[in-house]
Amino acid sequence: MALIDFKCENCGEDFFEIVNNDEEKVICPKCKSTSIVRVYKGKFYGKGGSCGGGNCSGCNGCGH
């Protein structure tokens, strides 16, 4: 279980959710869109990007 920051691609809303696993669907609390991207913070994601669930070689620790 982790507290993860998200950003809605539809309306730009920033919010956070407590998710139990990566498969859990996240919905924007403002517009109910499912076009959500994770906002990675912290030392593992300090390069301004993320692996996006794909190549994890450059983001040690994200769990993908």
Binding site for Zn ion (CB under 5 A): 8, 10-11, 13, 28, 30-31, 33
Residue 47 beta carbon to Zn ion: minimum distance, rounded to whole angstroms:
26
Structure tokens at 7: 């950003």
Kindly provide the b/e burial profile for residues 14-38, where b requires at least 16 CB atoms within 10 angstroms of the residue's own CB. eeeeebeeeeeebebeeeeeeebeb
**Shortest Cβ 62–Zn ion spacing (Å):** 23
Bridge partners (DSSP) listed for residue 48: none
For Zn ion, give the closer residue by CB, 34 or 46: 34
Residue 14 Cβ vs Zn ion, minimum distance, rounded to whole Å: 10
